[in-house]
Each structure stands twice: as C-alpha cells, then as structure tokens.
Amino acid sequence: MTRYIINKETAIELNDKGEILPQDVEIALLGALGFEPQNVEGVTVWVNKNDRFWLLHQQELPEDAASRQDAVNSINEKTGALPLAPTLDNSFAQLLMRQIAMNATGEAFVDGSLAGSWRVETISRFRPYDVKLHGLLAGKLQPMSVSHPSLPLAVCLLFLQAIGVGQRAYVYIPDGAEAEPQLLYITPENEIGLKQLVPETNLFRVEGLDKYAVVGLDEDMVKEATEKAQLQRTILLAKIKADVPQPEPELVATAATAEPQKAE
C-alpha cells in the first residue's frame, strides 16, 4: 500500500496494484479541492468556506425511493449540508475539467471488441515525448489518459492522477558538470517510456517521496533527495568502472615497447 497526502487533513492509500480504493476516490477529490472533514452528529461533512457537503456513499440509506429521500432530508437538516456523489455527477466532472484541461472521446471499440467506454486525456504539448523539444515532461505536464464506461468517473480518476495521486518520485541527474538534478513525478504508464529514454546512471527512484506528489516538498527535502541520488550515482559509476574488464599489465607493457613492423 502506498500513502498519498491530499491535504493537511486528508490522506489516502493505493493498493499493491497502484489503484485507488473506490471509497477513497471521492474523499481524495474533495480534499484536493480544499474541503476539510468535520464530524456533525456522526456524519462526516466536508466544508470549504460556505460550501458544505456529505457524501452519499458514506451513509447507509434505504433502498425504497420514498424512505431514501426521507433519510436524505433528515441528514440535510441535521448537518446543514447537501448530499453529493462526485463520481456520478456530470456537473462535478465538468468542474474538474475546468480545473485541468481535458478531452473526452467516446470509444465504441477497444482492440476490436465492443467496449462502449470513454477515454479522457489531458491536453498535452505537441509531441510530448520529444525530449529534445520539451525536455522530460513530468507532473501535470506529462500526457495522461483514463478509460472507463462512466464518463464522470473517468474524469475524476484522471483529475486525481493529474494532481499527483499514483505518481512516482525520481531524481533525474543530467550529464555534465553544470547540470542540476531534478525531482520528477511520473505516472506508472509514463515510467516505462522514461526508463527507455534515460540511462540507469541518470535516474534514481525515491519511493519515500511518492506520498508528497500532490502537496509537494519543501526545498530542504528536495535538496536531501538530490544529494542522496548524487551519492548513489557516484557509487554506481564507480561500480560500473570496476566491473569493466581491464587489460593485463603484461600485455599493456608489451604493447607499449613493441617496435612497429616495417612495411615491406
């Protein structure tokens, strides 16, 4: 399980597959938008200035429509908040799309099979994987996409991914004495391409910093991470050099003293 801090009051965990647990999706969304949880008569109310919501999925409600509405009205009255189901709400999804630019496309077929799903992707730069053109794109600049039968849920998942949930921390050390190390956050999908582009002597995983992908780090933490990566690089380069087969001293001496053969 990997923990991600959303704000000072909210954190979530991803499972071993790097997936956000369904019950945490809406918690993470509200936390990312600045809402903080308050307990009001046993109900968690999410508050941001004058906005107050309680999450439908967190309450056990009757299945009968009339009884369900009565229960909702009762919770509304005692909490002074409104019910919300972000992953089912098109208007909420549109709010997220205004926060981070996205495109949504319907997919009738995927790999030749009828799918009927939605593909939502961030609007990235032209040829985003062209390192010479853009450098290494990380964080919100890297291209990302999510496919799901539910459009609002696909938007919600992509929004969380774009702000950092599920992204992994690396220190990238370019070649050259003047080059400055960089702390990068990369999605698992882009991680594969990154490792193909960058030699292992220039890229170092920093798992302990994954949890800060959403909230960011202060300068001292970044400095400590880059210094550790530079030390790792020094050790790695020394090991690689030591592992390279060296010519026998006798052969080197013989080659140095041998007289060049005269052309006939």
The pLDDT tens digits for 120-137 are 999 887 777 676 676 777
Residue pair 140/163 in contact (Cβ under 8 Å)? The answer is: yes
User: Residue 3 above 70 pLDDT?
Assistant: yes
Helix 151-163 crosses helix 22-32 at what angle (to 10 degrees)?
60
- Looking at the chain, the whole-number percentage of residues with pLDDT higher than 90 is 68
Domain-by-domain residue ranges, the chain? 2-85, 89-163, 164-245
**What pLDDT, on a 0 to 100 scale, did the predictor assign at position 225?**
95
- In this structure, of 69-83, 180-194, 198-212, 247-261, the range with the lowest mean pLDDT score is 247-261
Tell me the per-residue pLDDT of 177-191, one tens digit each, with 9 for 90 and over.
777 899 999 999 999
Confidence of residue 109 (pLDDT cuts 50, 70, 90): confident
Residue pair 28/10 in contact (Cβ under 8 Å)? The answer is: yes
**Nearest CA among 182, 188, 223 for reference residue 202:** 182
- Give one DSSP letter per residue of 231-242, joined into a string: HHHHHHHHHHHH
User: To the nearest 5 percent, what fractions of the chain are helix, strand and coil?
Assistant: 40, 25, 30
Phi then psi dihedrals of residue 190, to 5 deg = -80, -15
